């Protein structure tokens, strides 16, 4: 059933709170939106409302982590990653075991517009040594990724959506950090997608199949460390690869894939993302159409790229 990844996160975190007494959760006046509220209601003594003060929340979480707690800090992706130096020093450089949960990623949040949209966050986070960057694509993957993050000792950035995501994985799904997931095999082109755009890319590819175009669709849930082996394998097998993400075209999945290809492969690459502009208000559907993120536009872009 379609569900927002922030909702899946809130549900699983409250479940994991029972198993791991060291999990503590901090929020900066957005617990209703980040869905950390579910944990807060169940474990009020392990939930800290920090008010609208993200920098202090980040540092406080680092201190908790240095005393063996497993803190999750939750807010909108843009507000958290905007406190870059605090994340850099107090969490990443300190190797503090903090899980950074940035919700409301991408233009997919819609009407609230640019100030609330996390659009550069992947780039910021993947530039920090030791930071794992994960963007799940559906309900089950989000839950499995959170389970993994709790066990992983070290900082993790989890990028979540406000909007509902259609299911793409099945119940037996296993999350493997750093490993891309082939959702559909194909012969003509490799399509790498992440987060909210994964379903759209899959849908576009299934429709293209009827028109005689065969796409391999790969869900890249871990943007750092990137699945270099799979990218290189795809670069050998296909003449063209394409990336799709709801993030600035600079520094996101497309850049991560381009870095691997530029150093070790020869294949033509096209990146789909926000074309180095800020976000704007509008319905999520209208915004996705405008920037070519809906399955119809993705279909057209893939077709055109294959032709030229």
Partner 1 sequence: MDIKVLKEKAKRVRKKILRMLCEAKSGHPGGSLSIVEMLLILFTEEIKRTPQNASSKDRDRLVLSKGHAVPALYAVFSEIGILKEEELSTLRKLGSRLQGHPDRVRFPEVEASTGSLGQGLSIAQGMALAYKLNSNNSRVFCIIGDGESQEGQIWEAILSAPKFKLDNLVVLLDFNNGQIDGKVEEVMPIEPIKAKLEAFNWEVFEVNGHDFEALAETLKKCRTLNGKPKYIICRTIKGKCVSFMEDQIKWHGTAPSPEETEKAIAEIEQGD
List, by residue number, the catalytic residues: 54
Query: Residue 74 interacts with partner 1 (CB under 8 A)?
Result: no
Query: Residue 109 interacts with partner 1 (CB under 8 A)?
Result: no
Q: Which of 29, 63, 232, 296 binds partner 1 (CB under 8 A)?
A: 63
Residue number, 88 or 228, with CB nearest to partner 1: 88
Output the smallest distance, CB 35 to partner 1, in A. Answer: 23
Output the smallest distance, CB 63 to partner 1, in A. Answer: 2
Rounded CA-CA distance 34/42 in Å is 15
Query: Residue 65 interacts with partner 1 (CB under 8 A)?
Result: yes
Secondary structure string (H, E, C) spanning the chain: CCEEHHHHHHHHHHHHHHHCCCEEEEECCCHHHHCCHHHHHHCHHHEEECCCCHHHHHHHHHHHHHCCCEEEEEEEHHHHHCCHHHHHHHHHHCCCCCEEEEECECHHHCCCCHHHCECCHHHHHHCCCCCEEECCCCHHHHHHHHHHHHHCCCCEEEECCCCEECCCCCCCCCCCCCCCEEEECCCCEEEEECCCHHHHHHHHHHHHHHCCCCEEEEECCEEECCCHHHHHHHHHHCCEEEEEEEEECCCCHHHHHHHHHHHHCCCEEEEEEECCCCCCCCCHHHHHHHCCCCHHHHHHHHHHHHHC
Query: Residue 51 interacts with partner 1 (CB under 8 A)?
Result: yes
Rounded CA-CA distance 184/181 in Å is 9
Q: Which of 44, 45, 263, 266 binds partner 1 (CB under 8 A)?
A: 45
Rounded CA-CA distance 144/177 in Å is 10
Q: Which of 2, 20, 53, 225 binds partner 1 (CB under 8 A)?
A: 53
Residue number, 89 or 206, with CB nearest to partner 1: 89
Output the smallest distance, CB 89 to partner 1, in A. Answer: 5
Residue number, 86 or 302, with CB nearest to partner 1: 86
Q: Which of 25, 62, 150, 168 binds partner 1 (CB under 8 A)?
A: 62
Is the sign of the CA dihedral 136, 45, 57, 91 positive or negative?
A: negative
Output the smallest distance, CB 45 to partner 1, in A. Answer: 7
Query: Residue 172 interacts with partner 1 (CB under 8 A)?
Result: no
Query: Residue 124 interacts with partner 1 (CB under 8 A)?
Result: no
Output the smallest distance, CB 95 to partner 1, in A. Answer: 5
Strand order in the sheet with 215-219: 181-184, 215-219, 189-193, 240-248, 268-274
Q: Which stretch binds partner 1 (CB under 8 A): 67-75, 118-126, 210-218, 271-279?
A: 67-75
Query: Residue 225 interacts with partner 1 (CB under 8 A)?
Result: no
Query: Residue 73 interacts with partner 1 (CB under 8 A)?
Result: no
Q: Which of 15, 29, 43, 56 binds partner 1 (CB under 8 A)?
A: 56
Q: Which of 12, 14, 25, 50 binds partner 1 (CB under 8 A)?
A: 50
Q: How many residues bind partner 1 (CB under 8 A)?
A: 31
Q: Which of 17, 59, 102, 110 binds partner 1 (CB under 8 A)?
A: 59
What is the binding site for partner 1 (CB under 8 A)? Answer: 24, 45-46, 48, 50-51, 53, 55-69, 71, 85-86, 88-90, 93-95
């Amino acid at each position: 059933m379609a569900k927002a990844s922030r909702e899946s996160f809130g549900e699983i975190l409250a479940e994991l709170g029972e198993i791991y007494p060291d999990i503590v959760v901090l929020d900066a006046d957005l617990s209703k939106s980040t869905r950390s509220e579910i944990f807060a209601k169940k474990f009020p003594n392990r939930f800290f409302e920090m008010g609208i003060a993200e920098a202090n929340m980040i540092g406080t979480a680092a201190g908790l982590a240095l005393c063996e707690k497993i803190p999750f800090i939750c807010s909108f992706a843009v507000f958290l990653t905007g406190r870059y130096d605090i994340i850099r020093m107090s969490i990443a450089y300190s190797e503090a075991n903090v899980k950074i949960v940035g919700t409301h990623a991408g233009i997919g949040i819609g009407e609230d517009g640019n100030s609330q949209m996390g659009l550069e966050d992947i780039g910021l986070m993947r530039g920090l040594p030791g930071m794992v960057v994960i963007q799940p694509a559906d309900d089950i993957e989000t839950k499995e990724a959170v389970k993994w993050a709790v066990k992983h000792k070290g900082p993790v950035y989890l990028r979540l959506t406000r909007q509902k995501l259609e299911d793409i994985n099945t119940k037996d799904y296993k999350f493997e950090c750093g490993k891309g997931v082939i959702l559909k095999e194909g012969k003509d082109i490799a399509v790498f997608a992440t987060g909210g755009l994964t379903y759209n890319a899959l849908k576009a590819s299934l429709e293209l199949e009827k028109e005689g175009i065969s796409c391999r669709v790969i869900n890249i849930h871990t943007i750092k460390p990137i699945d270099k082996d799979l990218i290189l394998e795809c670069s050998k097998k296909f003449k063209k690869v394409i990336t799709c993400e709801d993030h600035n075209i600079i520094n996101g999945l497309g850049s991560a894939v381009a870095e691997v290809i530029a150093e070790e492969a020869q294949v033509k690459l096209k990146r789909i993302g926000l074309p180095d502009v800020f976000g704007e208000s509008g319905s999520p559907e209208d915004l996705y159409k405008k920037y070519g993120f809906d399955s119809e536009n993705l279909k057209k872009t893939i077709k055109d790229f294959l032709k030229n």
